[in-house]
Amino acid sequence: MIGVILAAGKGTRLRPLTYAIPKPLIPVSGKPVMEYAIDNLKDVVDKIYIAVSYRKEMLEDYLRHVDYGVEVETVSTLGWETGGDLRLLITDKNIDDDIVVAYADVITKPHLDRMVAFHKKRKADATVLLFSVPDEEKERFGIAIADEDGKIERFVEKPKEEIPSNLANAGYYILDRNVLPQLDFDKEKVERMLFPKLAEKGTLYGFKDTLPLWVDIGTKASYAAATRLIEKNGYIFKREDE
């Protein structure tokens, strides 16, 4: 399996922090935010690509000085939405393998090994990491309606209408190699380009996980909140089932 960290945004909502350094290197409790995703991915993939479009050379310089125990390589994209950038990366690197995708600005600690096993057992075209969110926050996420087996019957990105589900995309998903050609070279999100089609087809699944912590650093307010939470709870989040 190949890991992909989507980090092509310029982080405009985090300015002035991102005037000096790219968003993936923004420190959260003394650790670049992208490293939380690397730590999650490295145990289930053979290589990790970081999709970037802003200050790539600074990321490469940083990566030269760190050994993660897995090969990590930056790849230039156009800063499109997730679908177009993934298609560019897959084409550029001739990827013909299942990929595990993570958002660079999300900090959490999922059971990725169990998610991969779940994905393979169900022979899914795609599997989304899902967690429960409050009703008032559903507009921030992609929301899935799933049955007891995890098959997603409907997926709506940032719904404006009332959706009878609280299961949200946690910023990680697996794409089977067979569906990679369905990604288009355009400025559209995978969540809008591909997930609704696969749900209609019956090959989109959701892995429901109880996450010990989920935060993003998309804005200055959420960045400050993430830093406080990480410093309070520590990086190695304790789970009730471990």
0.75 exceeded by pTM: yes
- Using pLDDT thresholds of 50, 70 and 90, give the confidence band for residue 51: confident
Please name each of the domains of the chain with its CATH number: 2-233 (3.90.550.10)
DSSP lists the bridge partners of residue 163 as: none
Dump the DSSP string for 92-157: HTT--S-EEEEETTEEE---HHHHHHHHHHTT-SEEEEEEE--GGGGGGSEEEEE-TT-BEEEEEE
Q: What is the pLDDT of residues 60-102, one digit of tens each?
A: 888 888 888 899 988 877 666 667 778 888 888 888 899 999 9
- Residues annotated as catalytic are 158
Q: What distance in Å separates the CA atoms of residue 108 and residue 213, rounded to the nearest whole number?
A: 5
* 240, two tokens: 């009730």
The DSSP 8-state label assigned to residue 18 in this structure reads H
Q: Which residues contact 156 (CB under 8 A, 6 or more apart)?
A: 142, 143, 163, 196
By the 10 Å C-beta count (0-12 exposed, 13-18 middle, 19+ buried), 77 is classed as buried
